[in-house]
Amino acid sequence: MNVALVGVTGYSGMVLYQLLQQHPEVATVRLFGHPDSQPQPLMAAVSNFIGDQTLIEPLDAAVVMASCDLIFFATSAGVTTELATPFIEADFPVIDLSGDYRLQDPETFTKWYHKPAPATAALQQSHYGLAEFTDAARHNYIANPGCYATATLLGLAPLVQQHLINPASIIVDAKSGTSGAGKKLATSTHFSQTDENLQLYKVNQHQHIPEIMQQLKVWDASVPAIQFTTTLLPLVRGIMDTIYAKTDATAEQLHAAFAETYADSPFVRVLPVGQLPTLKEVVGTNYCDLGISYNPVTHTVLVVSVIDNLVKGAAGQAVQNFNQYFGFSATAGLQLTAVMP
Give the chain's radius of gyration (CA, Å): 20
Nearest in space to 12 (alpha carbons), one of 241, 318, 287 = 318
C-alpha–C-alpha distance, residues 189 and 27, integer Å:
37
* Burial tier of 243 (Cβ tally within 10 Å: 0-12, 13-18, 19+): buried
Strand-pair partners of 31: 5, 56
Asked if 127 and 141 count as a contact pair (C-beta separation under 8 A), the reply is: yes
In the chain, % helix, strand, coil (3-state, to 5) comes to: 35, 20, 45
Q: Using the Cα atoms of residue 153, residue 217, residue 12 and residue 192 in order, give the sign of their dihedral.
A: negative
Q: How far is CA 260 from CA 108, 254, 268, 273, in A?
A: 33, 10, 12, 14
Strand-pair partners of 244: 171, 302
Give the DSSP H or E segment for 253: helix 251-261
Asked if 318 and 71 count as a contact pair (C-beta separation under 8 A), the reply is: no
Asked if 202 and 230 count as a contact pair (C-beta separation under 8 A), the reply is: yes
Q: How far is CA 225 from CA 127, 164, 169, 172, 222, in A?
A: 22, 16, 9, 11, 9
Phi, psi of 270 (to 5 degrees): -90, 120
Which active-site residues does the annotation give?
A: 147
